[in-house]
Amino acid sequence: MPRDIRIFDTTLRDGEQSPGASLSAEQKMTIAHQLAALNVDVIEAGFPHSSPEDLESVSRIAREVRGPIVAGLARTMEPDIESCWKAVQYAEKPRIHTFIGTSNIHIEKKLRKTKPEVLAMAVHAVQFARARCEDVEFSAEDALRTDRDFLTEIVAATIEAGATTINIPDTVGYTIPWEMADTIEYLIENAPGFKEVWISVHCHNDLGLAVANSLAAVQAGATQVECTINGLGERAGNAALEEVVMSIRTRPDLFDCRTGIKTQEIIKTSRMVSSMTGFVVQPNKAVVGANAFAHEAGIHQHGMIMDRQTYEIMRPEDVGLSESQLTLGPRSGRHGLASRLRDLGYDVPDDKMPEIYERFLAVADCKKQVYDEDLAIIMKEASAQIVETWHLVSMTVVAGVSTSPAAIVCLEKEGEKITDSAIGNGPVDAVFAAIREMTGVELVLDDYSVRSVSIGADALGEATVRGHRNGEEAIGRAASTDVVEASAKAYLNAINRLQIKERRNGGAVGM
């Protein structure tokens, strides 16, 4: 009988820690429901003590999402654990996940503690958490750079204290596969009780080995893998869920185990997360990249014609790809749109459908065909729910080889329309200058990019603006078939977000 491997998804916690990957509460809910449809075993929904917004988001996911365990992260501090329990207690299956650094460098440089002090903190945290929740996970942060004797000691002690899952993280992506396997085997042999709990690994991708290390741990006896959609996460990211799952599925000759993942949901989950975070999936990304099932070389094409298995080790249908697709355009009705959105994993309430349909028609009027990538952008914008202090009404841009770029922009604030003009180094710069003048917000621009999110000459262009003022960072995104319009809306989106932050903090908010 194959062993069951739990898939612990931390896209909403570790994945969201990727710089620029912040998600609104509605976007987190949408992704959480899709993760449940994917049938992950655990959703790590956030770090409740980090902010009131995160606590509320985790709490809402715990209340509304059914199926997976819903976990929250907490340091080995009582207030962290109390906040975590406050958020996850309403879940069908709640979990408190507590952690502390165990390597010499973490203990001495970050924590400024001794090993006995760290051991005592870990044991107390697990006992404190277990008094509230039956399911408690303990992580020995930076385990793969931890002295093995101390790692064995703290693992055994936290199991005795009540931990039901022990996580061995490669926090900085330092280890290599055979070292990971040897560590798991060593703990199984030497840490009392280790074989009786869920053995988890959490691997980072700093050396490009996160998936390989996760699979090596599974082969050595691990029973839970912590991963993210598309490999999102701190620095170079985490182990990619889709790669771990499909490796286990594709090589049953090597892995005598199975996951409960509904692999046909992988592509739609990948696209949803990519769209909502703004992190583009590279074309040659394993399993979910645009080229993952593409064949251009003549020899490969001939082989594919003769038998797909000559050059494909997975069927595209197994991850949710299909040759057939409902075509959507300006004449498509609400039922057709709703059907395609359901296929993509979006459960749109009836009262939200008119707004979504209006957004769809605005895009469809500019395009011959609306693609899935366009729909993902429409849904992302609809779920962002940013209160617009400033709203773009109209914009006229003049630019040319022998003409100074200029822009006339009309904005609306609280029902009042304001118009101003400016010149710049280019049309986008001119638009930004006019917006700065009208809003009175001097946003220092740190990064600006535009990318195509679908195919064809009429593809939607998504603009991303990252800037700061007075120490507060804001990221704005918007999409349009007109990239200058998209840029203007993204710039305004960043300003609106910045003003919301500054109001909360009692700072200056401009006009």
Residue 143 pLDDT more than 90? Answer: yes
CB 78 within 8 A of CB 45: no
Angle at 305 between CA 301 and CA 309, to 5 degrees: 90
Domains and CATH numbers, the chain: 3-277 (3.20.20.70), 293-319 (no CATH), 334-384 (no CATH), 391-505 (3.30.160.270)
If you average pLDDT over every residue of the chain, what do you get?
A: 88
Task: Give the pLDDT confidence of 211-248 residue by residue, as tens digits.
Answer: 999 999 999 999 999 999 999 999 999 999 999 999 99
Residue type, 190: N
Report the alpha-carbon distance of residue 222 to residue 212 in Å, rounded: 13
pTM of the full predicted structure?
A: 0.74
Q: Determine the distance from the C-alpha atom of residue 408 to the mean position of all C-alpha atoms in its chain, rounded to a whole number.
A: 37
Most confident of 9-23, 114-128, 481-495: 114-128
Report residue 111 as tokens: 């924590």
CB 509 within 8 A of CB 503: yes
Q: Kindly state the average pLDDT of the residues 307-335.
A: 69
Residue 150 pLDDT more than 50? Answer: yes
Residue type, 210: A
Count other Cβ atoms within 10 Å, centred on residue 213. Answer: 29
Residue 342 CB contacts under 8 Å (≥ 6 apart), including other chains: none
Distance, first Cα to last Cα, the chain: 67
Strand partners for 418: 411
Nearest to 8 by CA among 93, 77, 100: 93
CB 466 within 8 A of CB 497: no
Task: Give the pLDDT confidence of 74-104 residue by residue, as tens digits.
Answer: 999 999 999 999 999 999 999 999 999 999 9
Exposed/middle/buried for 412, CB within 10 Å: 0-12, 13-18, 19+? middle
Task: Give the pLDDT confidence of 14-26 residue by residue, as tens digits.
Answer: 988 777 777 888 8
Q: Kindly state the average pLDDT of the residues 465-476.
A: 84
Report residue 453 as tokens: 């999110």
Report the alpha-carbon distance of residue 483 to residue 461 in Å, rounded: 6
Report the alpha-carbon distance of residue 257 to residue 1 in Å, rounded: 8
Per-residue DSSP letters for 314-341? S-GGGGT--S----B-TT--HHHHHHHH
